[in-house]
A and B are shown apart, each in its own frame.
Chain A
């Protein structure tokens, strides 16, 4: 059962426009969410995170929005640049029944920004 879902395997946008990557989760125990970016043949790199006590976190061109009632978060990239073309992973963290913290990853969304 996929607790963290990125339902769009791929997304294509024009340079300069907004890219919106979505992530849904099923477990209300998640209290911290992260986005990672991955280029081919490289390891993922941390992009931005958000705690469940916030509904928005902004870092330059990247903004993450969290809607706890909908169990949904999204990553906005404005304006999109060709160098943003990569796979974006959503990850959610929280304590499980055994009081151990877990980090669950989505399968990723491949973003292509066209010049």
Chain B
């Protein structure tokens, strides 16, 4: 158990809809990262937050947004969903910044029908 929790574990929705994925980092970790893993793809870094502020941006679509709240939990919002958004979405946390060991949650499996 990494100490990172993600909810929900599974999510099935329809195209055009909007969903919110939630992540709670390990106790004491200030940085939260979001990744997408599509079928047969490696990990695609989406975005990083550090202590409530956006710190780094990767290949995140404009339809996607994220935020980190004062209690350090984070949410990833996916809107106008398309079939191709079906993927595993992982959240990770580290104590401070990028380059440190990241601890991953179990992921949220999103299926867009």
Contacts and interface: CB of A to CB of B under 8 A. Distances in A.
Given A32-B99, A100-B56, A101-B98, A43 B42 contact: no
Contacts of A105: 42-43, 45
Contacts, number: 53
Interface of B: 2, 4, 41-43, 45, 55-56, 88, 90, 92, 97-99, 101-107, 109
Nearest to B104: A43
Nearest to A40: B88
Nearest to A43: B104
Interface stretch (A13-21, A44-52, A63-71, A78-86): A44-52
A51 to B, nearest CB: 10
Given A101-B97, A102-B56, A103-B99, A44 B104 contact: yes
A53 interface: no
B99 A101 contact: yes
Interface string A12-50: 000000000000000000001010100001111110010
Contact of A41 (B98, B103, B105, B107): B107
Contacts of B97: 101
Most interface-central of B41, B56, B105, B109 (chain A CB within 10 A) = B56
Contacts of B104: 36, 43-45
B98 to A, nearest CB: 5
A24 to B, nearest CB: 15
A103 B103 contact: no
Nearest to B43: A105
Pairs A-B, 7 closest by C-beta atoms: A43-B104, A107-B42, A93-B99, A101-B98, A46-B101, A103-B98, A101-B99
Interface string A78-99: 0000000000010001100000
B42 A89 contact: yes
Contacts of B55: 100
B38 to A, nearest CB: 11
A93 B42 contact: no
Contact of A43 (B41, B99, B105): B105
B2 A43 contact: yes
Nearest to B88: A41
